[in-house]
A and B are shown apart, each in its own frame.
Chain A
Amino acid sequence: MLFFAGNIFAANVAMDFPAANKFYAEGKFAEAAAGYEKILQTGAASPALYFNCGNAEFKSGNLGKAVAAFRRAELLAPRDSEIRANLDFVRNQVEGATLRESRWRDWLGQLTLNEWTMLTVIVFWLAFFLLAAKQICPALAPRLREATFAIGTLLIFSGACLGLDAAKHFSKQAAVVVSPETVARSGPFDEAQNAFAVHDGVELSVLDRHDDWIQVTDGSGKIGWLQTKQVDVLPGA
């Protein structure tokens, strides 16, 4: 059943993706963006799809949607230099203060959560394999001392990175403003006072949610509430 569903899936993408690319090549960026969105709505995703969608949105003048698409592409392929290049280019066009990851978080993002998990698991298995070998064959202990130390250190390091990445994935969410000239309010209701202005494409950190509102901060201490329709909340890193 899964195989059958997968074949139908692949057939739609095989036709719609090149069609959207053709729109882009003809300069019909809005149509291209709509074509990529249509594929995304079927549940299909790939770094290239998000990348192209980001390009089309940028060319259509939608900075926020472009940033969100490139961020999603980066989540799937964190080491793709083209995605990174385009994301940085679009970020350069965004007006106003925007939340930026620190260097070490940026470095942490070079691997996906699953990649950190697999790395830690491999080192974990290796470490316990060495420990078991030392129990079974104590004569090997002297020769394995350095290796055990190195593996142990690596295990602690990768485990720490995994923990931090998991904490970032599950507790911290990012949002990108997709409306032009938006004002964050001091409370989750229309009559609340204005807190600060945000521009299309600004990246914010999500602090809380309430009905159709989310509480955000731009990292400089300014906190406000935006309506969910004004932002695109990114999935966990």
Chain B
Amino acid sequence: MKRNRIFEILPLLNGPMELGQGRNFWILFCLFSLVLFGYALVGSVFSLSNLAIFFAYVPMGLGLGLLWGYGGVLSFGQAAFFGISGYVYGIVAGNLISTPGGTLLAAACGVVGTMTLAAAFGYFVFYGQVSGWIIPLLTLVLSLILETFMGQTAGYQWRVGSVLLGGYNGMTGIPSLNLGSLQFSGATVAYYLLVIGTMLIVYLGLRVLVNSRYGHAVAGVREDPERTRMLGYNVNLIQVQVFTLSAGLAGLSGVLYVSWGNYMNPSSMGLLAATLPVIWTAVGGRNSLIAVLISTVTLRYLADALAVRGGEYAFLILGALLLTTMLFFPTGIVVSLARRWHVWRKRDLRMPSSIPAETNQEREDS
């Protein structure tokens, strides 16, 4: 019985709602995963730690990919949820520092707390059935307000238990995740493996989700909310669920980030931070999870490289990249390239292969 259920998941993994099907893709994917895991054996701790932080942002990017690309809802709130989760983790972990398993509890608190807030926010927005442009505006305002709020929490009177909130200087000395004697702090192989594992699980899990019956309902809400409602789906509930899930993924990234750097500051949920997930998702291609994954890691790397040589140009370049993508590659750069490659291969082999993912991409006319 259990065997059967596992075999039921496999077609969902390879379903049509995501780019990249067939043997070649999966061989590449497995090779790539093996390389990532194998690098842990050969790489220096410094390079592993640097690489790990690029991948730690992937759940946040994928969350927005799910929400915007599959659910049709644009949100600037990912950074806010990232920050909330990091702060909640810091508060709980800092107070339970001597309790065994305290950091795991803190991580759970961070993610669940974030999801609760997102669900409450989503209730007001989605059950009001507001127009599509209201959600990005209100989530942006949420980010700005949270940044201002955390920014003014300097001083001794702003503390929860024994943890100081720290104002603009940020919260420092946050303990890393640990499991018994295993420490997942930034400069460890364990942390690298944790991040890679989390990223792959999130990616594959979302792949199953978008190809499931539920995932088709989510895409249905994006295409035509009214029609989906008439087909008997609870559109408002689905939207709140997807919004909450994407916030939870941002929260996961937040916990991973805090565990890496032992530090959280208000600007991680400010205006510029709120921009980043949107740029990753738009530039990669919001209708494909793998495209978002690739662009998240690439653009994080790019931002890092730019910060080293003249950080003042980073956001100028990112802004220009975003505008160029929106003007010339509305479906995203990675997705456009993948599609061109499909067309080229089809012509080359004269093989009638269908690209079902493409049917989901003609949208945004409503």
- A-B interaction: no
